[in-house]
Structure 1
């Protein structure tokens, strides 16, 4: 009899992460008016809302792909890298004092957490 495989995270973590990403992405798209309510980075409020919707759509797409292939470590790892890049891209906005600092910090924190969970799930 062989020893049971050690798991860092329980089975199904990739699926749970994917569903959370879809939910967050859909919420971002639906709440784009609230999240992109002011001009930022030289964009008009309309353009800012478009950027927010694109970011939400990216989360939905990533979540759908991850849910479809939640047992594929490569998919989880690529998703983890995408989330880490998103977290890193938010850091300059966090460093700048302005109306979007808190939102950027929250986005960076959620993306970093998703990257960590996705990376750990890929290791299983």
Structure 2
């Protein structure tokens, strides 16, 4: 028997993540101007890749709001946050890395809590 998850919080979280991913994918310069102006322009492709990953990940959660999908999304976000650790002290990448890691950690915690609240 499948467990019913609280769909409204999951959908709000996934819609917010997908929207953020779309904005990062479509408007990397505007995002960087607002949050991390020192980020080098020649690395915008990194932001676009992050936006595409976020959009795809949160679209998957919207499509299948199940504990296993939420747990996988949490794991992906934790891996992303961990990948930011080497850049936290960087003058060029540090601010972007700290913000990106914080968003990923917040998303991972929310996904994990929502997934775990429905496990048998």
TM-score by length of 2: 0.80
Say which of 49, 52, 55 aligns to 1:54. Answer: 49
Return the alpha-carbon distance in structure 2 between the equivalents of residues 93 and 122 of structure 1.
30
* Structure 2 partner of 1:100: 93
**Cα RMSD (Å):** 2.0
1:31-71 deviations in whole A, cap 9, x for unaligned?
Answer: 213439753xxxxx33x11111011000000111100111x
For structure 1, the 5+ residue unaligned runs are: 1-8, 40-44
For structure 2, the 5+ residue unaligned runs are: none
* Structure 2 partner of 1:6: none
Count of aligned pairs: 108
- Say which one has the larger Rg: 1
* Structure 1 partner of 2:103: 110
Name segments (4+ residues, structure 1) moved above 4 Å. Answer: none
* Structure 2 partner of 1:79: 73
* Structure 1 partner of 2:60: 65
Q: Which has the higher contact order (CA 8 A, sep 6+)?
A: 2
Q: How do 1:17-56 and structure 2 match up within 5 A?
A: 17-34=13-30, 35=32, 38-39=39-40, 45-46=41-42, 48-56=43-51
The answer to whether 1:12 aligns with 2:8 is yes
